[in-house]
Amino acid sequence: MNALKFSRKNLGIPYAVFLAVFVILPLILIVYYAFTDANGAFTLSNFTNFFKSPTNVTILIRSFGIAFLSTVLCLVIGYPVAYLLARSNLKKSGVLLMLFVLPMWINFVLRTAAMKELLYFLGMYESGKLHYLNTVIGMVYDYLPVTILPLYTVIQKLDKNVLEASSDLGAKPLYTFINTTLPLSMPGIVSAITMVFLPSTTSYVISDTLGNSKVTIIGKLIENKFNSGAADSWQAGSAIALVLLLLIFVTMFISGKFQNDDDSSARGNGLW
């Protein structure tokens, strides 16, 4: 038993080293640069300069707006697909699910380039009025598979006895869905929102490629700051990155609280 415990601890050492070098250390550097000026002195001007700039605030709002719209569309499209696949009696439902998830196996940049060619073929890419729409289409296309997967998993694991009991008591299918299926599938919805909303705020590859470099989101702004060549470029970029990181943490905390509540409901607490 002692040898087994010792071996398990040793197996965790490479992961701990990787985490320290590639996650914790870069985060410490970001925090350091965010709170210092070009001379290394402590300052809060990096944050105040960001929020004083109307352009930066506009980009931040735009990023969350695009992410919000993309997330809503992914849920509107992905939930019915996941529900039909999970509740259908088709023997090939697993194959159909794999077809929806298959694009995830293709390189992210290649998928975006393929969508660019499609939009170009449809005459949408060069239109000056459709840059934002094209960006949202690209977000939905790239993140729809990660929306379907958690929803499918949660809906498939729902207790069929609960759904059948609702029908036996005379509830109509729509009532059963709104008051039983939808609340019980909320953990999957929260997971899907987290997996779509957070990356969508920073996926500037999509906005650059499909928006014809006319749509700037917060991820692109961070890259521009780091590559500006100014004396405080790292300080400005780190401050924006830290602001975004804090906003993401707040979003994940709220989502986690909702998910915990939903998990309690899924176990039967407060169902009725």
- Whether residue 130 is found in the same domain as residue 75: yes
Give the pLDDT confidence score for residue 252 in this predicted structure: 75
Quick: pLDDT tens for 52-65. 999 999 999 999 99
Q: In 3-state terms, what secondary structure has residue 42? A: strand
pTM above 0.85, yes or no: no
| Mean pLDDT of all residues in 142-149 | 91
| Mean pLDDT of all residues in 138-147 | 92
- Whether residue 18 is found in the same domain as residue 94: no
| Mean pLDDT of all residues in 168-181 | 82
- Whether residue 148 is found in the same domain as residue 257: yes
Q: Where is average pLDDT lowest: 14-23, 73-82, 167-176, 254-263? A: 254-263
Q: Is residue 44 part of a domain?
A: no
Q: How many CB atoms lie under 10 A from the CB of residue 227?
A: 10
Q: Is residue 93 part of a domain?
A: yes
Q: Is residue 244 part of a domain?
A: yes
Quick: pLDDT tens for 102-115. 877 888 889 999 99
Is residue 98's pLDDT more than 50? yes
- Whether residue 217 is found in the same domain as residue 93: yes
- Comparing 7 with 206, the larger pLDDT belongs to 206
Structure tokens at 122: 């449809």
Instruction: State the total domains in the chain.
Output: 2
Q: Is 272 exposed, middle or buried (0-12, 13-18, 19+ CB in 10 A)?
A: exposed
- Whether residue 61 is found in the same domain as residue 151: yes
| Mean pLDDT of all residues in 12-27 | 91
Q: Is residue 113 part of a domain?
A: yes
Q: Is residue 41 part of a domain?
A: no
Per DSSP, the residues of 191-224 read: HHHHHHHHHHTT-HHHHHHHTTT----HHHHHHH
- Whether residue 26 is found in the same domain as residue 84: no
- Whether residue 73 is found in the same domain as residue 146: yes
Quick: pLDDT tens for 225-266. 999 888 889 999 999 999 988 888 887 777 666 555 555 444
- Whether residue 145 is found in the same domain as residue 15: no
Q: Domain range holding 69?
A: 54-266
- Whether residue 130 is found in the same domain as residue 30: no
Stretch (H or E) spanning 26: helix 25-34
Is residue 268's pLDDT more than 50? no
- Whether residue 144 is found in the same domain as residue 23: no
d(CA 187, CA 264): 10
Q: Is residue 272 part of a domain?
A: no
150: CB partners within 8 A, 6+ apart: 187, 188, 191, 192, 195
Q: Is residue 46 part of a domain?
A: no
- Whether residue 18 is found in the same domain as residue 151: no
- Whether residue 74 is found in the same domain as residue 32: no
Q: Is residue 23 part of a domain?
A: yes
Quick: pLDDT tens for 30-54. 999 999 998 889 999 999 999 999 9
> Which CATH number fits the domain that encloses residue 118?
1.10.3720.10
Of 184, 192, 188, 142, the closest CA to residue 165 belongs to 184
Give the pLDDT confidence score for residue 266 in this predicted structure: 43
Quick: pLDDT tens for 147-160. 999 999 999 888 87
Give the pLDDT confidence score for residue 71 in this predicted structure: 95
